[in-house]
Amino acid sequence: MSQYNILFLCTHNSARSVLGEALASTHPSGKFVGYSAGSTPGTSINPFARELAIEMGYDASKLRSKSWDEFGLPDAPKMDFIITVCDNAAGEVCPYWPGKPASAHWGFPDPSQVQGTDEDKRSAFREVMLGLKKRIDLLAGASLESLDAKSLKEIHTK
């Protein structure tokens, strides 16, 4: 079975994109290797995103904020799909991606902006995680060999 590399992008690479990386990498289909990056990465992963990623069984040692420039380098893994998960990153000029991967924008509100109790914040992160999971599940069920950018953009929750 082929595995497909998916790069999830968000501005700071500390929350939504990290959840995408963890979800893709731990997906039960085994079809994906998830990566994440940001245009202006933060200094750390949001603690609620870290908590959820670890709950999914994702290796905590892989959790770090990184620049999307890393994935444009010659020795970087070749991406099959690039997915932006925040509106800011979707509007930015991205680096050149070797291999011309299919790309799409799957926008989600920033859970790190939620005010309130820790439970309110956890709930916001879980909501984003569940939305990403639904889309990754749909992607896993698609004919990935022939999936183009238009089809990837049309993957949405039903």
Joined tokens for residue 83: 């997915």
* Domain contains 15: yes
Is 10 a residue of the active site? Answer: yes
Residues 11-27 have pLDDT tens digits of 999 999 999 999 999 99
Instruction: Give pTM, 2 decimals.
Output: 0.90
User: What's the alpha-carbon Rg for the chain, to the nearest Å?
Assistant: 14
Burial of 126 (C-beta count, 10 Å sphere; 0-12/13-18/19+): middle
* Domain contains 158: no
* Domain contains 90: yes
Q: Single out the catalytic residue among 19, 52, 82, 86.
A: 86
Q: Single out the catalytic residue among 7, 10, 19, 128.
A: 10
| Res. 138: pLDDT tops 70 | yes
| Res. 152: pLDDT tops 80 | no
Q: Single out the catalytic residue among 76, 94, 140, 142.
A: 94
Q: Please provide the average confidence, as pLDDT, over all residues in the chain.
A: 88
pLDDT reported for residue 60: 95
* Domain contains 155: no
Is 94 a residue of the active site? Answer: yes
Provide the CATH number for the domain around residue 56: 3.40.50.2300
From residue 122, alpha-carbon distances to 36, 62, 125 in Å are 20, 21, 5
**Of 20, 119, 158, nearest to 79 (Cα)?**
20
Using an 8 Å Cβ cutoff, are 43 and 65 in contact?
yes
pLDDT reported for residue 7: 96
Is 86 a residue of the active site? Answer: yes
Domain that holds residue 101: 4-143
Domain count, the chain: 1
